[in-house]
Amino acid sequence: MDLQLTDKVALVTGASRGIGMGAAKVLAAEGCRVAICARRENLLEGVADEIEAAGNPRPFTIVEDVLPSDAGARIRDRVLGEFGRCDILINSAGGSRSIPWDANDAVWDEGMLLNFDAVRRLTNAIVPSMLANGYGRVMTMTGIMEPAGVNVALAAKAAVHAWSKGMARVHAKAGVTFNCLPPGRIKSEQIMDRLHADPVARERYIEENIPVGYFGEPEDMGYLIAFLASPRARYITGEIIHVDGGMHRYAF
Ligand SMILES: NC(=O)c1ccc[n+]([C@@H]2O[C@H](COP(=O)([O-])OP(=O)(O)OC[C@H]3O[C@@H](n4cnc5c(N)ncnc54)[C@H](OP(=O)(O)O)[C@@H]3O)[C@@H](O)[C@H]2O)c1
């Protein structure tokens, strides 16, 4: 199937590692012109090197922290300045924040800012360009809604689910879709280096929790992202689509 992505412009946040990196590679391989954003310039340049070495145009790199309130507008200006438009936005900057139930406001503010407000601000900055062109695809990486304890990121991502659904309904007739993708366990910096750093405990976790029997690769998210980014996916909006090897237990 031709995904009709040639020359579509895609902005991917959190592209220095993990899922964002995988999404950028797959979108570039499908013919998109790609802008990749994160804080660590050396890692972004490494991702750009890999994409170029695979025979695709070198991505445009944007070194930004998404937390400041004006970051969304700055990132938008860089993308529109380089490409003149933005067709696809992949919100992958984010991260788990497991905390004590009585953590202070500063802890809550940082986690909500990273995983909800920064996503909303960047999306709101980019959407007018999509509306003007009558085409847009916004995808946000969220998470499985099965709290083991208190986690700011989970609360923020639940907010993203509700917000994204609202955006999908408001902008449906304009050809701009909004979908959320909750990963289960995809190999990434936070998964391999922080949450599951011990290989023995990791294998036990997999055995007990992941029906397919292994952690996913970033590209396992990337292939779904490429399909949803395509004009072929015009009828899929307001959805929450799990990529988790069968991990979540609820049936809807
Ligand atoms: N991997 C999974 O299985 C899994 C499971 C549940 C949810 N998720 C969600 O999926 C998304 C991607 O996760 P991942 O596991 O692939 O992440 P990761 O490998 O840990 O990488 C996180 C990415 O976010 C960027 N980032 C973090 N804070 C940032 C900031 N303040 N400003 C700009 N960029 C920032 C990092 O880049 P720099 O540090 O270079 O800025 C990096 O590129 C996240 O929203 C995460 O919560 C992933």
> How many CB atoms are located within 10 Å of the residue 63 CB?
15
Cα–Cα distance for residue pair 3/223, rounded to 1 Å: 11
> How many CB atoms are located within 10 Å of the residue 25 CB?
23
Predicted confidence at residue 137, as pLDDT, reads 99
Quote the tokens at residue 154. Answer: 């989970």
Looking at the domain assignment, is residue 203 inside a domain? no
Domain ranges, residue 78: 9-188+219-240
Ligand 1: residue of 12, 26, 39, 43 to mutate (most ligand atoms within 8 A of CB) is: 39
- Number of domains observed in the structure of the chain: 1
Looking at the domain assignment, is residue 193 inside a domain? no
Cα–Cα distance for residue pair 158/156, rounded to 1 Å: 5
Quote the tokens at residue 223. Answer: 């292939």
Looking at the domain assignment, is residue 199 inside a domain? no
Looking at the domain assignment, is residue 247 inside a domain? no
Predicted confidence at residue 115, as pLDDT, reads 98
Looking at the domain assignment, is residue 107 inside a domain? yes
CB 125 within 8 A of CB 76: yes
Pocket of ligand 1 (CB under 6 A): 14-20, 38-40, 43, 65-67, 92-96, 114, 141, 143, 153, 183, 185-186, 188-191
Looking at the domain assignment, is residue 251 inside a domain? no
Nearest alpha carbon, ligand 1 atom 41: 39
Looking at the domain assignment, is residue 87 inside a domain? yes
Predicted confidence at residue 9, as pLDDT, reads 98
For residue 18, the CA-to-ligand 1 centroid distance in Å is 7
Mean pLDDT per 10-residue section of the chain, whose length is 252 residues: 98 98 98 98 98 98 98 98 98 97 98 98 98 98 96 98 98 98 97 96 97 98 98 98 97 82
Reduced to 3 states (helix: H, G, I; strand: E, B; else coil), residue 121 is helix
CB 168 within 8 A of CB 136: no
Predicted confidence at residue 42, as pLDDT, reads 98
Predicted confidence at residue 252, as pLDDT, reads 76
Residues paired with residue 181 on neighbouring β-strands, in sequence order = 141
CATH of the domain at 58: 3.40.50.720
Looking at the domain assignment, is residue 250 inside a domain? no
